[in-house]
Amino acid sequence: MHNYTIAQLRKMLDAKEFSSVELTQHYLNRIHQHQDTLNAFITICDETALQQAAEADKRIQKGDIEPLTGIPLAQKDIFCTKGIKTTCASKMLDNFIAPYESTLTQQFLNAGAVMLGKTNMDEFAMGSSNENSFYGPTKNPWDVTTVPGGSSGGSSAAVAALLSPGATASDTGGSIRQPAGLTGICGIKPTYGSISRYGMIAFASSLDQAGPMARTAEDLAILLNCMTGFDPKDSTSVDHPHDDYTTQLNQSLKGLRIGIPVDFFDDRLNPDMANTIQEAIRVFETQGATIHDIHLPHNHAAIAAYYVIAPAECSSNLARFDGVRYGYRCNNPENLLDLYRRSRSEGFGAEVKRRIMVGTYALSSKVYDACYLKAQKIRRLITQDFIEAFKNVDMIMGPTSPSTAFKLGERCQDPVQMYLSDMYTIAVNLAGLPGASIPAGFINNMPVGLQIIGHYFDEARMMGIAHQFQQLTDWHLQVPSNFK
């Protein structure tokens, strides 16, 4: 059962080939079987999942069926789930039971989907390798000595290892696309504001965006249909017409104008990675697409701008975790100041502390204009570069990451090298554009991701383009040998 896509499972559930309870139990068994190896989950929801599956079976019997009714899915542990622990992979929230449901998880509940559990991640979504989790690192199913990417590494590993047919994730600077690329699955960060952030624990509010992970572009489209929509509870939610993201899956690639940023193909990109990406893009060319070199003049400044803006927002958002209202509290504080200081120093991990300190400094009066204000100006220039590019091309394509998955521990002592893992994804978040990663080949038996960047609210066409690519290739069908 675990070898089928969401679209295939829908047909099989409707045909009564098996029940949602049977399907859910099968996935739960696989999760428990491989948890010690991969550490993909923080919380496994056996009892809740089987109850939800039983309810879904009743709906299916009555004919009250939506595309995700009875489909088991995994939720990243950044989304609040009422009555179930929500930790953000931090000691700070290790004892936090959310008193309400996030809009995103509520949409899945309304659709009759089943929650298998909450997936592992980098603490407060800060990281590119899933090594910053309080609960230990997640391993890449293709090679358990390597990272699955981050911060949504638990979700990507769960989907890649066939522990779940799909999963939710979040992307602040590449945290959906980069792990999707490193584990050989599909993932999309939609246009900023298209999915509600209500109940998603904030890292950087102007950059964070939820999105889905799955094995195929068709499954991403199905998941997006459930996830998107205006939410009055979220001040960053955009009131935009809700597309059916499956409507353009069968569109032709003929006449598609693909922009290739020459800035991406420099000496920082692994040569084998460059060749693999270029081979993938040639597939589109054989179907009538045209290739155009483009320039993104300010892309080189994206990482510098991001690591001012994101930590600044992190510093503000994480100020609420002070040991007073909820979350971790130190033992026997001497006074209020000691409570604040020790609760935060004991509750946060090293990377979170680093970013809080950087952000606090960037917002200080002495350097605000030189750091934070300048970074925001660069952000605007980066956005304008993309807008200009889309006047001449329909889609932009390039590598998702500069290399395949790196070894566990390899970059932990070098934050700059770790940050460069997201060098091709960060600009998309700064501009608020939609970006996806789909499997495009292998180098030394490790997956390579092709990044597709679209114009605002052009996700349906992006999914169609990705789906057509997957009709011509089989990279997305490859499964790690130990998890078949």
Tens-digit pLDDT profile for residues 426-440: 999 999 999 999 999
Q: Which of 76, 118, 139, 189 is catalytic?
A: 76
Burial of 461 (0-12, 13-18, 19+ CB in 10 A): buried
Is 266 a member of any domain?
Answer: no
Strand 446-453's sheet: what is its strand order?
41-44, 114-119, 72-76, 166-171, 209-214, 186-189, 435-443, 446-453, 395-399, 257-261, 290-294
- pTM recorded for the entire structure: 0.96
Tell me, yes or no, whether 349 lies in a domain: yes
From 80, 5, 1, select the one nearest 246 (Cα to Cα): 5
208 touches 197 (CB < 8 A): yes
State residue 420's pLDDT score.
87
Does 352 reside within a domain? yes
Does residue 19 belong to any structural domain of this protein?
A: yes
Q: What CATH number should be reported for the domain holding residue 154? A: 3.90.1300.10
Structural domain contains residue 277? no
- Are 352 and 214 in a shared domain? no
**Residue 423 sits in the same domain as residue 370:** no
Q: How far apart are CA 403 and CA 399, in angstroms?
A: 9
* Residues 417-427: tens digit of each pLDDT: 898 899 999 99
Statement to judge: residues 325 and 425 lie in one domain:
no
Are 368 and 415 contained in the same domain? no
Spatial separation of the C-alpha atoms in residues 154 and 372, rounded to whole Å: 32
Whether residues 306 and 370 fall in one domain: yes
16 and 144 assigned to the same domain: yes
Write down the residue that tokens 């249909």 correspond to: 225
Two tokens at 267? 């000496």
Out of 376, 410, 425, a domain closes at 376
Reported as a single tens digit per residue, the pLDDT across 241-261 is: 877 999 999 999 999 999 999
Packed helices 217-227 and 459-472: angle between N→C axes, nearest 10 degrees: 160
Asked if residue 41 and residue 123 are part of one domain, the reply reads yes
pLDDT, mean of residues 430-451: 98
Q: What's the confidence (pLDDT) of residue 158?
A: 98
Q: Please answer whether residues 194 and 66 qualify as being in contact, where contact means their C-beta atoms are separated by less than 8 angstroms.
A: no
Spot the catalytic one: 129, 175, 196, 315. Answer: 175
State whether 35 and 164 are in the same domain. Answer: yes
User: Which whole-number Å values give the CA distances from 227 to 131, 176, 190, 202, 425, in the listed order?
Assistant: 28, 15, 10, 18, 22
Task: Mark whether 372 and 328 lie in a shared domain.
Answer: yes
* Residues 387 and 379: beta-carbon distance below 8 Å: no
In a domain, 248, yes or no: no
151 is catalytic: yes
Distance CA(374)–CA(371), nearest Å, equals 5
**228 and 210 Cβ atoms separated by less than 8 Å:** no
Tokens 């958002």 correspond to 317
pLDDT of 2 above 80: yes
Q: What is the CA radius of gyration of the chain?
A: 21
pLDDT at 206: 97
CB 430 within 8 A of CB 309: yes
Task: Tell me whether residue 431 is in a domain.
Answer: yes
Indicate which residue of 102, 151, 164, 237 is catalytic: 151
For this structure, is 76 an active site residue?
yes
Q: What is the largest CA-CA distance in the chain?
A: 71
Mean pLDDT of 333-356: 96
- Domain of 64, in residue numbers: 6-243+401-437+479-483
Give the model confidence (pLDDT) of 260-309 as tens digits. Answer: 999 999 888 989 999 999 999 999 999 999 999 999 999 999 999 999 99
The pLDDT of residue 154 is above 80: yes
Q: CA 74 to CA 86: how far, in whole Å?
A: 13
Among 99-103, 414-418, 452-456, the minimum mean pLDDT is found in 414-418
169 and 310 share one domain: no
Q: Give the separation between CA 455 and CA 188, rounded to whole angstroms.
A: 13
Q: Is residue 406 located within the same domain as residue 372?
A: no
Contact in structure between 394 and 252 (CB atoms under 8 Å): no
Number of independent structural domains in the chain: 2
Joined together, the tokens standing for residue 461 give 């066409």
Whether residue 135 is contained in a domain is answered as: yes
Same domain (yes/no): 235, 333: no
